[in-house]
Amino acid sequence: MRQSRPGDLEDLYRICLLTADAGDDATRLYSDPQLPGHIWAAPYAIFEPSLAFVAEDTEGVGGYVLAAFDTVAFERRLEEEWWPGLRSRYAEPSAEMPQGMSEAERHARHLIHHPWRADRDVIGGYPSHLHIDLLPKMQGRGVGRRLIETLAAALRGKGSRGLHLFVGSRNQRAQGFYRHVGFTELPVSDVHIFVMDFTS
């Protein structure tokens, strides 16, 4: 396990794609294999490199945890420096777009034009947020726990009050993992938000 370097970016894009369908391979869902990584991986490694950690085996990088220290500041920075370039490359989904375009790709394109804005109530107590993904060969061996522990220590060291993340309802496995490694689920109905408090 080590801090991410600029040369890891291609691996981060690849791992993101291979885990973007509720934890499974999403290759068939996207016309451009970089699309999920543009949203859920690359900007974190580029703009918050001190909070980007990767796990390696003999074949190279096979997993990562990525985070934003201050979600509001991160959203603002992406609005200025990240989304504009992508908006000109990826058109907003419309009724005229190809019939075959997957729901996942429509959603990703929508997010580029209308980025996710984290709930301000959640951010109040848990201003940092994360994404974690491991290739199947790296799962179930304690790597996810070690990545979370490494990130949590880094965030505490920088003075974060707390950490949140969103999980899709289909990804039951990740929900079980988060519960098991110390997150608490917030009582909201439509999405699954897990949090970790660093103030106590």
Ligand X SMILES: CC(C)(COP(=O)(O)OP(=O)(O)OC[C@H]1O[C@@H](n2cnc3c(N)ncnc32)[C@H](O)[C@@H]1OP(=O)(O)O)[C@@H](O)C(=O)NCCC(=O)NCCS
Query: Pick from 36, 127, 144, 162: which binds ligand X (CB under 6 A)?
Result: 144
Under the binding rule (CB under 6 A), the answer on residue 4 touching ligand X is: no
Residue whose entry in the numeric block shows the structure tokens 């220290």: 69
Beta carbons within 8 Å of 77's beta carbon, 6+ residues apart: 47
Query: Segment near ligand X (CB under 6 A), from 43-51, 104-112, 138-146, 156-164?
Result: 138-146
Query: Segment near ligand X (CB under 6 A), from 27-35, 84-92, 98-106, 166-174?
Result: 166-174
Residue 144 vs 162, nearer CB to ligand X: 144
Under the binding rule (CB under 6 A), the answer on residue 87 touching ligand X is: no
Residue 102: burial class (beta carbons within 10 Å; 0-12, 13-18, 19+): middle
Beta carbons within 8 Å of 117's beta carbon, 6+ residues apart: 75
Residue 12 vs 143, nearer CB to ligand X: 143
Parallel, antiparallel or unpaired: strands 2-3 and 53-57? antiparallel
* # chain residues binding ligand X, by CB under 6 A: 20
Parallel, antiparallel or unpaired: strands 162-167 and 128-134? parallel
Binding site for ligand X (CB under 6 A): 19, 23, 132-134, 139-145, 167, 171, 173-174, 176-177, 180-181
